[in-house]
């Protein structure tokens, strides 16, 4: 295979980090931050607050610098898990990101339990960038690109029904969205319970109650043809101007997925995502994905649920998929994702990071990471602030954030975003009142 197991499990190269500390750029930072770097910096506290629904991590240091990270808005229950790692961080130098991560990364797991570790990693890079006076992308090796492509992610419009015409109308709204997306992803099949449950006898099983994505089974002819008709209607609207990717599962049987993929080959779908496993499934099932991948000319995609490079090993080395989609807030952080993307690139596999619920701090992390990813990068899933008041409490993002389907990479130190503390305090729960003190 050309790359040894030891090589795959090795750490991110130290060369980029050594080079990245050579320059200073203190534009846009406060006086205490500009003085940072004069002596060893130490972590004095790890805090977590639920702001809106997002768990937000703050790492506090003895030199007046704080770093922020964020977990998905779907995971407000993570606060105790984040705080579990406090004992491992106190007294450490946050700019030694690899050393700190070696202490804690072994204690995460597949989505959602790797999220706490990932948010901490992102906060560490935020501190490291501020201490060096450099944007985080410089610490990751520097920019490959000055602007980064996005796809729609958190930007959605309500569906009025589940007919092909409803999907065509929804795609027209997406096409006209102010972000100017060049790539749009839509949920179909088992990833879209409303679609599946709108059909009578769409598959050979009964719908399950409870959390989403619990349905699975063999599709009927009626079910398969309805999903295909909805995709055809969307492509008719988008034409060859805008790419269409499909979030499909998990839940499909391999043969149904093959039949579906082959039927869609004339429509040049950008990828089919998570058909067999994925999302909250704690395993990638590389062998089944390989059967699907080898049976169609469409790109097959998975990976949003996977934690750490070790768990991408089989998917990549067996070339079981064409596109991987790790989420920086689940996979172990932005450096972990970059390492995985580099290894995937050696095997001819593309990367399109997941990020629908990653929030505005997560958006900043995506931008810096995507700027430094190799040329197998397609685009990342664009997160939005939820609720809308998030845009009033975060400072440093460009305005507008997205232009013609891209985000320009900014150059302020660290992640380049911070809180308007007075505005943010108004949205803290009683238990989190000391978060910014």
| Residue-level pLDDT, tens digit, the chain, 437 residues | 343 333 333 433 333 443 333 333 333 344 344 444 457 999 999 999 999 999 999 999 999 999 999 999 999 999 999 999 999 999 999 999 999 999 999 999 999 999 999 999 999 999 999 999 999 999 999 999 999 999 999 999 999 999 999 999 999 999 999 999 999 999 999 999 999 999 999 999 999 888 877 899 999 999 999 999 999 999 999 999 999 999 999 999 999 999 999 999 999 999 999 999 999 999 999 999 999 999 999 999 999 999 999 999 999 999 999 999 999 999 999 999 999 999 999 999 999 999 999 999 999 999 999 999 999 999 999 999 999 999 999 999 999 999 999 999 999 999 999 999 999 999 999 999 999 99
The sheet with strand 66-70 has its strands ordered as 43-51, 54-61, 66-70
Report CA Rg, the chain: 22
Taking the domains of the chain in order of start, what are their residue ranges?
5-138+428-432, 143-424
Q: Which tokens belong to 351?
A: 């990367």
pTM of the model: 0.91
- Say how many Å lie between the first and final Cα of the chain, rounded: 52
Task: Give the CATH number of domain 143-424; options: 3.20.20.60, 3.40.50.2300, 2.40.128.20, 3.20.20.120.
Answer: 3.20.20.120
Give the integer Cα–Cα distance in Å for 221 and 410. 50
Decide: 360 and 377 in contact? Cβ < 8 Å: no
Where b means 16+ CB within 10 Å and e means fewer, 388-424 reads eebeebbebbeeebbeebbbebbebbbbbbbbeeeeb
Q: Identify the architecture of domain 5-138+428-432 in CATH.
A: 2-Layer Sandwich (3.30)
**pLDDT at residue 38, as a whole number:** 54
Cross-strand partners of 252: none
Per-residue DSSP letter, 47: E
Give the integer Cα–Cα distance in Å for 228 and 223. 9
Angle between helices 115-132 and 359-372 (to 10 degrees): 70
Strands 54-61 and 66-70: antiparallel
Q: Write the CA distances from 133 to 35, 61, 65, 137, 412, integer angstroms.
A: 10, 16, 12, 12, 8
Q: Write the CA distances from 266 to 261, 290, 336, 350, 378, integer angstroms.
A: 10, 21, 36, 21, 21
**pLDDT at residue 213, as a whole number:** 76
Give the integer Cα–Cα distance in Å for 181 and 227. 23
Give the integer Cα–Cα distance in Å for 219 and 314. 28
- Helices (H), ranges, 244-321: 254-264, 286-293, 313-317
Q: Which tokens belong to 398?
A: 């460009």
Of 147, 144, 126, 96, the C-alpha closest to 416 is 126
Where b means 16+ CB within 10 Å and e means fewer, 341-363 reads bbbbbbeebbbbbbbbbbbbbbb
Cross-strand partners of 246: 186, 272
């Amino acid at each position: 295979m050309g790359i040894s197991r030891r090589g795959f499990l090795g750490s991110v190269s130290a060369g980029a980090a050594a080079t990245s500390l050579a320059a200073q750029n203190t534009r846009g930072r406060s006086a205490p931050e500009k003085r940072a770097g004069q002596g060893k910096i130490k972590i004095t506290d790890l805090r977590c607050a639920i702001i809106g629904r997002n768990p937000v991590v703050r790492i506090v240091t003895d030199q007046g610098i704080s770093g922020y990270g964020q977990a998905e808005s779907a995971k407000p229950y993570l606060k105790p898990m984040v705080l579990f790692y406090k004992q491992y961080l106190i007294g450490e130098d946050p700019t030694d990101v690899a050393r700190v991560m070696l202490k804690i990364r072994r204690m995460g797991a597949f989505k959602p339990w790797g999220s706490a570790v990932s948010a901490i990693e992102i906060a560490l890079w935020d501190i490291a960038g501020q201490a060096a006076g450099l944007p985080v992308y410089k610490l990751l090796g520097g920019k490959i690109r000055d602007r980064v492509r996005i796809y729609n992610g958190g930007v959605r419009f309500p569906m009025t029904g589940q007919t092909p015409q409803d999907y065509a109308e929804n795609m027209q709204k997406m096409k006209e969205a102010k972000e100017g997306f060049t790539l749009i992803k839509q949920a179909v099949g088992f990833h879209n319970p409303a679609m599946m449950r709108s059909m009578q006898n769409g598959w050979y099983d009964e719908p399950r109650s409870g959390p989403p994505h619990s349905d699975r089974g063999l599709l009927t002819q009626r079910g398969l043809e309805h999903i295909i008709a909805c995709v055809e209607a969307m492509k008719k609207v988008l034409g060859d101007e805008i790419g269409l990717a499909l979030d499909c599962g998990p839940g499909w049987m391999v043969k149904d997925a093959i039949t579906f993929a082959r039927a869609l080959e004339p429509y040049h779908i950008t990828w089919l995502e998570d058909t067999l496993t994925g999302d909250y499934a704690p395993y990638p099932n590389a062998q089944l994905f390989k059967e699907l991948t080898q049976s169609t000319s469409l790109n097959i995609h998975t990976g949003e649920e996977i934690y750490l490079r070790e768990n991408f090993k089989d998917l990549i080395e067996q070339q079981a998929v064409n596109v991987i989609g790790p989420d920086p807030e689940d996979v172990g952080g932005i450096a972990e994702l970059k390492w995985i993307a580099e290894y995937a690139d050696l095997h001819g596999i593309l990367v399109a990071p997941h990020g629908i619920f990653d929030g505005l701090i997560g958006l900043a992390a995506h931008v810096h990471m995507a700027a430094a990813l190799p040329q197998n990068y397609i685009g990342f899933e664009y997160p939005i602030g939820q609720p809308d008041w998030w845009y009033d409490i975060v400072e440093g993002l460009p305005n507008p954030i997205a232009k013609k389907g891209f985000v320009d990479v900014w150059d302020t130190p660290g992640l380049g975003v911070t809180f308007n503390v007075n505005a943010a305090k108004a949205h803290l729960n009683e238990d989190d009142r000391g978060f910014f003190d």
